[in-house]
Every structure is written in structure tokens, then in C-alpha cells.
Structure 1
Amino acid sequence: MILKSYETTKNNFSKDKNIFLLYGENSGLKIEIKELIKAQKVDEFKKIETLNFWEEEILKSENIFYEEINSDSLFINKKVIIINKASNKFEKYLLDFIEKNNSNISLIMISELLDKKSKLRNLSEKNKKVFCIPCYQDKIDDLAKILNQELKKNNINISNESKNLILNRANGDRINLRNEIIKIISFSNFSKKITFENIKDLTNYSEEIDTGKFVNTCLNGDIIRFRKNLIELNLTSFNYILILKILSSKIQRLIKIKEQNNNQKNSEVLVDNYKPPIFWKEKVDVKKQINIFKLNYLKEIIFNLNKIELECKLNAQNSSIIFLNYLSKICKKANSYS
């Protein structure tokens, strides 16, 4: 059964279906629809197990696939099985899955461009149990719609000249576009007015940054350097889980330092006496952070990080925005204390 990609924006479009074929050259759109299906299944079943396979793995050892789809125990979580690089060779496995008719398991097949003669595409288009969703390249109007929706949702006003620059630098790819939008949203936490020059600096410039230094910049309340890091941030390889763990570790250490001797006010003494010893390059940052943050606020950050991590996992598509917004909030707070 054919479903147009724009129809996936309807609420709970996947509720009555558990088999999906996403094919075409638009990788960004396929990722978005895949994440949307997973999110809707979480809403529907509360808890799901996600399993990722490459078609090549299944072809080499098909027992992996059949063991998963034949699990009928009531105690097993609802599952979403994702098959990457699915081709016509997967047709027989799709037929077996349709025949099995296990409503506890959802199957998402992700393919490259499939021609009209494709067996996998034909089966998916004709079978009413399958949503077959073509994902063709975005037009400039599609990208402009995404940009305007995100700007409006986040109360960001920029000039048409700035919008055209963003769309131009996205180079027809919605993944690039969303990465640029994330930077702009994070930047807006520090500046309500965003100029064309700001957009020129923010967009289409990225490199790997030192995550440890990035976290210290945030905790030091260094807004100017933090904004510079946002510009340099490579969101294609952005790993919020890694940064979250580094941030959590640094906050936990600050808590321990403050708790080890509540009466001691001298940060030099607190840091020098801490065990295990703090690396000398970090001592300046740690001393500054001890003076900036109160113990209660540090504990509040730890509590909030657990909530932020859960929120990011439940909203994978927006995880970078959620996490960077919280980092920006901490940086602004630290700056107001320092």
C-alpha cells in the first residue's frame, strides 16, 4: 500500500500498521520517518525493544531473523526490527513476516532507490498490510517549509536573506538543514536578535571540538567561547550521550569536592586535597567552577540530566536541540554567578 511521505506527518499514521518499506535517495527523510515510526510505537506500547540488522547479516544467518519474529512470549517486549539496505533478496523474508502476522513486532525496511520492477517494492505497494513510502529528493519548497516551521516553533525571527543563505548552504539535504537549525536555536538562547552576519558565521562551518573543553567552557560560564564552540560544532558526528557522561562526571566531582569539607571555603585547598588528584591542566577550571556553583544547584543539574537523557531518548530526532538547550541554560546560569 503506497503512502506519500507527506502523509506521515498525520498523527499516529503508523498506528494500524506494523510493516513499512522506506525507499529512495533521500536519506534524511528516511531517517526522520524511521524515528517517527519508532516514537509512535513507543506512544502506543510504552516500551519497545529496537533491533537493527543489515540485510547482509540476515542473508548470512537467517536464523537471527526468524528467532526474533517467532518470539511469542507474553513477557517479551514489543519490538521494532529495522533492516538496513533491504533489496529484492529480502522479499521472501517479508512474505514470511506477513504470514506470521505478529502484531507485537514492527518491521521497518530501509532501501535505496527501487525501480518499478523491484519485487520488494511491488510486494509492498500491493499488500495492504504494508506501508510503502517513497522518499525522493527534497525540493527547495520542502526545505523552506521545514525551516519556517522550526523558526516559528522556536520564536526566531530572521530576514529572508538569512533564510535563503541557510537553504543554499543546506545543499538540498534536510540533514544539513536540521543541523544548521539546531545551531541557530542554540545560538538564540544567548541573543534574541540574530543578524545575517550571525547566520553567515553559524552555518556550514564545522570541525571536531574537544568535548572536555566544550563542557568546561559551559561550566565556566564563558558565553563568548561557548557561542564560538556552537559555530564550530560538527553536528553530523555530535554525540550527546558522550558529552552528557562527561558533564555528569565533572558535576559529580564538583559535588564530592564541596562535600568533602563543607567548612573549607578556599578553592585552592579543596582542589589540591582532592583524591584522586586532579590533572594540573584542569585545576584552573575546577577551582573556578567550585567558586561559581552552589552545592544545591550542582545536585539539581544531576537530577535534571537524568530527565534530559530520557527526554532525548524518547525524542531522538530532536535530541541535539534538547541537550544543547540545556547546556546553554547551564552556561548562562554559570555566567550570572561568576
Structure 2
Amino acid sequence: MIIKLFQLEKINKNDFNFYLFYGENEGLKNETINKFFNLEKSKNIFRYEEKELLENKDNFFDSILSKSLFENEKLIIISRVTDKIVDFIDQIIEKEIDDIKIILNSRILEKKSKIRSLFEKNKKTISLAFYADTSLSLANIANNFFKEKKILISQDKINLLIERSRGDRQNLNNELSKIESFLLNKKNISIDEIMELTNLAENYNISELVDSCLSRNMRKTANILNENNFSTEDCIQITRTLLIKLKRLQKLFFEINNNKSADEAISIFKPPIFWKDKEVVKSQIKNWTLNKTEDLIYKTNEIELLVKKNSSNGINIVSDFIISQSDRSNN
């Protein structure tokens, strides 16, 4: 069944267990999922990648069929969904399993998409498209943020933030979080400070790729490499981003070796590590040591030189390197 976003709040959640959220606006999707399904208070939340689920169908069935007297309703979020999963999801829908809610999160789907067609035609399922934000809607988000913080800001600065978020409210909210931390003891921010603090939106996938690699999440690393058309120019950006995050990790290990806990080292780090990144950084600390980090800094510099000498094969060189470093068995 097709619905609009404003209609979602009017439906009875007890009448629907299956939801397809598709489109390019990841920020609005996340806001909607958090609000509509009350994620802050939900305890039984399970997250899967489509590829991970398809490789472990039996385990997934066991998990949704198993019940406990002490468990509330399960919320299952499946990311990076494509038509490959349509038959499997159709089987689950037909079983009419109680006490689960399943959200499929997909990028843009064409009208002929099988998974989209399944959810649009079935009266027991919800299909909801999330279109890109307009400049006006992003400006409203930014203006409301600064108004709430009682900070005067010019339209030029708002426009710069919108430009650097590339039409994605998730990117914009990430940058506003950084600015909020920066403005703890200040009431204004300059254009230059915004330029220094914020990322261009195209760097987000590269940052996520590097974070997944350093967290030794090989499956997610491979998914990001497969789903993005990184160019030859991106290869140097990937190695530079990896070096920046490795040097941050190196400094954290220096603090930890001075009898500080990981939490203490992260909390005093300069520039600040923002709250949304802290769990990722903790995972990286668990997967590396100071010696291994310094060794990888050396190897990354070598890879960057190799890419510059073999630019036509750069993406293959970098991809193989990133995948090998994300492998937990590569110690």
C-alpha cells in the first residue's frame, strides 16, 4: 500500500508489520524511523545488511520465529535492500508472524522494481518514498537549530552549510552537531570556521568506508566499495582520510598507554570526537594496537605512492588494500 509521509502518523502500527522506506533522503528516513517506532525506548532492535541476511536465511528465520516471555515486539531494520530479497520477504509476509516489525531501507527504486511492486500492491504492507530535501527545507532546519541555540547567523552562512550538505539533511544534521560542540562557549561562528569544521557531502562515503575498514567490518567495507563508483581521484582522498584517522588513533593510543581508559582518551581528545563517532572510535581501538597502527600508517603512505605511479589501476590497488586491512584474520 502506498502512503505519503504525512499519512504515516495516522495509521495504526498494530495493523502493519512490514514497511518499505525507499529513496535518497537517508536523513529523513532515519528521523521517521526514530520517531514513528520510538527507537529510543525500543530494546529489541536488530539491524541487518541485505547481503548478510541472504547469506544466513535459516538463522534469520530462527530469530524471528523464536519468542520469549520476557521479550517485547522485535523491530528489524534491513539496509541496502534491492530486488534480490523480494522472494525471501514475500515468504516472511505470507507466514503472518506476530510480534515483529520489519523495515526495509532502500535507495531509489524504479517503478518496475519487484520489491517496490510487492509492497505497493499488498494491503498488509506500507510503501513510502523519501525524496530529496529542497534548499528551503534544509534552510528551515538550519534556521530552527540556530534559533533554538539563540545564535545569530547570516543567510550567507546558512547557504554555505546547505551547499556543503549537498541536499541531504543527514549531512546537514551532522554538521550542525559539530557546530553545536564548537559553540559551547561561543555565540557566533565565522565563514572560515564553518569551512574548517564541515565536510563536503561527497566525503561522507569515504569517511564511512575508512571507519568500517578500521572497525574490521569487512562485510560493510565491501558493500560500500561495491555500491559507490569511486574514481581515480577518490583514491588519494581515501588514503588521506585513512591517514588522518590512523594518526588520530595513534594519538589515542599514546593517551591510553599513559594509563588512561579509552573513554578518557576519547573525551579529552582535540579536536573533539563528536558523540556520534565515539562508538566507532572505541571499536577501532579494540581492533588495533599502537604498533599495528603505526605499521599501517607506513603501509598507507606506500600505497599512496603506488597509486600515484599507477593511477590507471589506482582504484583496484586501494580497494584491495582497504579490504585486506578490514579482514579480522589479517593481524
Contact in 1 for aligned 2:33/2:39 (Cα 8 Å)? no
Cα distance in 2 for residues equivalent to 1:93 and 1:217: 42
Structure 1 pair 146/107, CA: closer, same or farther in 2 (3 Å)?
A: same
1:97 matched to 2:101: no
Q: 2:52 aligns with which of 52, 57, 77?
A: 57
Pairwise CA distance, 1:20: 1.2
Cα distance in 2 for residues equivalent to 1:41 and 1:136: 22
SS in 1 for 2:44: strand
1:180 matched to 2:175: yes
1:158 matched to 2:153: yes
Pairwise CA distance, 1:173: 2.5
1:32 matched to 2:31: yes
Cα distance in 1 for residues equivalent to 2:7 and 2:58: 35
TM-score (norm 1): 0.57
CA RMSD, 1 decimal: 3.6
Cα distance in 1 for residues equivalent to 2:157 and 2:11: 34
1:126-205 map, 5 Å: 126-204=121-199
For residue 70 of structure 1, what is the amino acid of its counterpart?
L
Across the two proteins, how many residue pairs are aligned to each other?
231
Structure 1 pair 198/6, CA: closer, same or farther in 2 (3 Å)?
A: farther
Structure 2 residues not aligned, in runs of 5+: 201-240, 256-262, 286-331
Cα distance in 2 for residues equivalent to 1:36 and 1:182: 19
**Aligned residue for 1:22?**
21
Q: Give deviations 1:240-268, integer Å, cap 9, x for gaps.
A: 4756999xxxxxxxxxxxxxxxxxxxxxx
Pairwise CA distance, 1:107: 0.3
Cα distance in 2 for residues equivalent to 1:14 and 1:146: 28
Cα distance in 1 for residues equivalent to 2:75 and 2:193: 41
**Aligned residue for 2:80?**
85
Pairwise CA distance, 1:166: 0.9
Cα distance in 2 for residues equivalent to 1:12 and 1:126: 17
Pairwise CA distance, 1:12: 9.0
The structure with more radius of gyration: 1
Structure 1 pair 79/178, CA: closer, same or farther in 2 (3 Å)?
A: same
Contact in 2 for aligned 1:23/1:112 (Cα 8 Å)? yes
Pairwise CA distance, 1:48: 2.6
Q: 2:278 aligns with which of 239, 243, 264?
A: 239
Identity %: 34
Structure 1 pair 115/158, CA: closer, same or farther in 2 (3 Å)?
A: same
Cα distance in 1 for residues equivalent to 2:98 and 2:147: 38
